[in-house]
Amino acid sequence: MSFGYVPIASILLGEDALDQIIAPYEPNLNRIGGERLDAGQLAAPAPIFYLVATGGTEGAILELRAARSKSAPDEPAFLLAHPGNNSLPAALEVLARLQQDGDPGRIFYLKGPSDTDGHQRITDTLHDLDVRRALRQARIGLVGEPSDWLVASMPDPVVVRETWGPEVVPSDLSAVQEMVRAAPQDELAAHIASLVNQATGVHEPSSTEIEDVVRVYVALRQIVDQHALDAITVRCFDLVLDLKTTGCFALAQLADEGIIAGCEGDLVSTVGLLWAHKLLGQVAWMANPAQLDENRNTLWLAHCTVPRTIVQDYCLRSHFESGLGVGIQGTLPTGPVTLLRIGGQAMDQLWLAEGDIIQAGYAENLCRTQAEVQLTRGGAVEDLLNAPLGNHLVLVPGHHLARLQAWWETMIDHEQPLLYSPNTASMASSTSSAR
């Protein structure tokens, strides 16, 4: 059983009449993993949906919801509505009351017994719950402190845990630096060969600098394995200052291996990268908005590292700001992308936008990997000037705004759901920031 569904009908309705209403819906609900339950099975371990068979059930649903909350206090209220018997009005009234009480919930309106879109939304929501569970089990390594300039992006680890779920596992940067120095020579050669041989060219970096960045990877990989980490973020500029090397290759390689990796000790962006990976199965890119054009609704993103699996090709350059170590200058393909930014003191604000990469860039006055994005749906570039949530954005290949929004509304933003249709051309930057 992937989920249970509990039919609720008016007290005026007999059992046979209830069965007649819901019988057409049961085969397809069962096909996608559902199982009919009764009010005495509310402690079931699987998620429970309330099948609103008729109107006049609002009070009964709230009572069932309260009983269910004793065994599943964090589970949103999932209401299944159908076109007849005043099912939808009852579901609307119940969800309105739940939202007044700050209780998360969602209506799944089935247009008929064979509503494949409605069934897909149920399946997606079951995946959403799996993602929330995975985030709560996730461990993010924080190597050193967040970089000093991230003045709006230094959440308390307690906030990360309470709002999003992951545990933050700190590691001492000086100990990691010693691990870099002591990286076994026999673990370097294969990674050096892969990095160099797959590149279209090597410009500034020397062979020693390339070896040093691989040492950083070996050290960080040891940290990941020792602490059973799902993600890691590093105060990487201290590597530049203390060891004259960079973490750009290490973070790119970890991302390509399925270990989410964020730069600069930025926990907020690392959570965004992890969320995109768990929900969408996508390797994402963390970058700075470097330039923008409000009239064209475009912006240039740039950073000195990028996962090699999401670029068409790459060459090896120096790190832009320092001129040291190795930066990766990748060519991101043109096509659809989604941008996201989490923010706020409680990490309960979100900016989302869809658009397209329209060209890659190779300017010498920006970080090495560069892409120009034209926004077409959701947030606009002017939002970044008027109500920024921080300096880094996360770019996810593909258009995923509606999927990300649906998860966010149900799992995080309980108090103020987005009042926005996915078919509109723009969305307030307050995918919670209007609070």
Least confident piece of the model among 293-307, 337-351, 419-433: 419-433
Residues 196, 225 within the same domain: yes
The structure's pTM equals 0.90
The residue type at 14: G
Number of domains making up the chain = 2
Residues spanned by the domain of 116: 3-136
DSSP element (H, E) containing 74: none
CATH code of the domain in which 10 resides: 3.40.50.10940
Residues 188, 293 within the same domain: yes
What's the mean pLDDT in 68-82? 95
Residue 428 domain-assigned (yes or no):
no
Please tell me the distance from the alpha carbon of residue 95 to that of residue 106, in angstroms, as a whole number: 7
CA 428 → CA 348, 412, 421, 425, distances in Å?
15, 17, 11, 10
What's the mean pLDDT in 169-175? 92
Residues 359, 248 within the same domain: yes
Q: Are 160 and 347 in contact (CB under 8 A)?
A: yes
Q: Are 349 and 328 in contact (CB under 8 A)?
A: no
Residues 128, 208 within the same domain: no
pLDDT in tens, 24-62: 999 999 999 999 999 999 999 999 999 999 999 999 999
Q: What is the pLDDT of residue 415?
A: 54
* Dihedral of alpha carbons 315, 287, 361, 312, sign: positive
Close Cβ partners of 205 (under 8 Å, ≥ 6 residues apart): 316, 317, 318, 325, 326
Contacts 24+ apart (CB under 8 A), 221-227: 221/250, 221/254, 222/179, 223/141, 223/143, 223/171, 223/176, 223/179, 224/141, 224/254, 224/259, 227/139, 227/141, 227/169, 227/171
Rounded (5°) CA angle 250-255-256: 100
Residue 175 domain-assigned (yes or no):
yes
Residues 213, 195 within the same domain: yes
Q: What is the pLDDT of residue 239?
A: 81
Please tell me the distance from the alpha carbon of residue 172 to that of residue 152, in angstroms, as a whole number: 22
Q: What is the pLDDT of residue 120?
A: 96
- Is residue 128 predicted with pLDDT exceeding 90? yes
- Is residue 241 predicted with pLDDT exceeding 80? no
- Is residue 7 predicted with pLDDT exceeding 60? yes
DSSP string, 1-19: --EEEEEE--TTS-HHHHH
Residues 35, 147 within the same domain: no
Give 374's pLDDT tier (boundaries 50, 70, 90). Answer: very high
Residues 55, 201 within the same domain: no
Beta-sheet pairing, 48-52 with 77-81: parallel
Closest by CA to 355, choosing from 332, 330, 388, is: 332
Residues 290, 388 within the same domain: yes
Please tell me the distance from the alpha carbon of residue 95 to that of residue 57, in angstroms, as a whole number: 12
Residues 264, 322 within the same domain: yes
Residue 417 domain-assigned (yes or no):
no
Give 12's pLDDT tier (boundaries 50, 70, 90). Answer: confident
3-state secondary structure of 132: helix
What's the mean pLDDT in 59-66? 97
The C-alpha R_g of the chain, in whole angstroms, comes to 24
Residues 187, 84 within the same domain: no
- Is residue 340 predicted with pLDDT exceeding 70? yes
CA 84 → CA 54, 113, 392, distances in Å?
8, 12, 48
Least confident piece of the model among 47-51, 151-155, 193-197, 264-268: 151-155
Q: Would you say how long the chain is, in residues? A: 435
Residues 354, 375 within the same domain: yes
Residues 175, 80 within the same domain: no
CATH code of the domain in which 291 resides: 3.40.275.10
Examine the fold and report which residue of 95, 111, 136 is the final residue of a domain before the chain moves on: 136
- Is residue 428 predicted with pLDDT exceeding 60? no
